[in-house]
């Protein structure tokens, strides 16, 4: 075999290895990724006429509880609140970041953290909570919706479950 063919085979091997590592890290086919994408699509589909929505109507996957965490909440604190350990959690390191987590049957099924809407074409939304909040599906939480400067702002309406302050 010629030296050129060996180099091509080595380069293909490296390329395949890199692509595999990227797929393992990004996990574009994981349930969490798909649920996050579908949740954002659901938000994007709301018209400017939408003034109120049930969280259950907005969430296109199965869930038992939704949690919102303020900036700087540690992974350990999140695990304490949700009642189990998960490798799908990360701390929000800055003010103004949205961090919403959905849990179903003691598993994190959607974890959205960051500054939604900062990238071109991305859905722009914000959930307004004070401190840490736990929403139970059975309590049918409702949100008022305001569209401001292209950002969909969701504010929790009168909710019967106790909101937890940090």
- What is the overall mean pLDDT for the chain? 81
Confidence of residue 151 (pLDDT cuts 50, 70, 90): confident
What's the pLDDT at 72? Answer: 82
Task: Provide the 3-class DSSP secondary structure of residue 156.
Answer: strand
Helix/strand/coil for 65: strand
Please report whether residue 79 resides in a domain.
yes
Domain contains 125: yes
How many structural domains compose the chain? 1
Residue 64 lies in a domain: yes
Whether the pLDDT of residue 115 is over 60: the answer is yes
Residue 63's pLDDT band (cuts 50, 70, 90): very high
Which pLDDT score, from 0 to 100, does residue 164 have? 45
pLDDT of residue 64: 94
CA dist., res. 113 & res. 15, Å (int): 31
CA distance 53 to 144: 7
pLDDT at 73 (0 to 100): 84
Residue 163 DSSP label: P
Give the pLDDT band of residue 120 (cuts 50, 70, 90): low
Identify whether 2 is part of a domain: no
Domain that holds residue 62: 28-156
Is 127 within the bounds of a domain? yes
What pTM value is reported for the model?
A: 0.73
* 33 within some domain: yes
Strand-pair category, 65-68 with 133-136: antiparallel
Residue 124 lies in a domain: yes
- Tell me the C-alpha distance between 7 and 139, whole Å: 62
Residue 83 · residue 103 · CB < 8 Å: no
In the numeric block, which tokens belong to residue 37?
A: 């994408």
């Amino acid at each position: 075999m010629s030296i050129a063919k060996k180099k091509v085979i080595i380069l293909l091997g490296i390329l395949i290895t890199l692509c595999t590592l990227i797929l393992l890290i990004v996990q574009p086919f994981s349930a969490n990724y798909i649920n996050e994408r579908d949740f954002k699509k659901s938000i994007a589909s709301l018209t400017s006429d939408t003034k109120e929505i049930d969280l259950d109507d907005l969430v296109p996957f199965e869930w038992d509880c939704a949690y919102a965490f303020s900036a700087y909440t540690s992974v350990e604190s999140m695990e304490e609140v949700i009642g189990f350990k998960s490798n799908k959690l990360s701390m929000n390191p800055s003010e103004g970041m949205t961090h919403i987590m959905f849990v179903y049957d003691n598993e994190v099924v959607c974890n959205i953290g960051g500054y939604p809407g900062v990238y071109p074409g991305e859905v722009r939304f914000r959930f307004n909570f004070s401190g840490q909040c736990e929403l139970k599906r059975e309590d049918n939480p409702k949100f008022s919706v305001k569209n401001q400067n292209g950002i969909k702002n969701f504010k929790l309406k009168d909710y019967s479950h106790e909101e937890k302050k940090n």
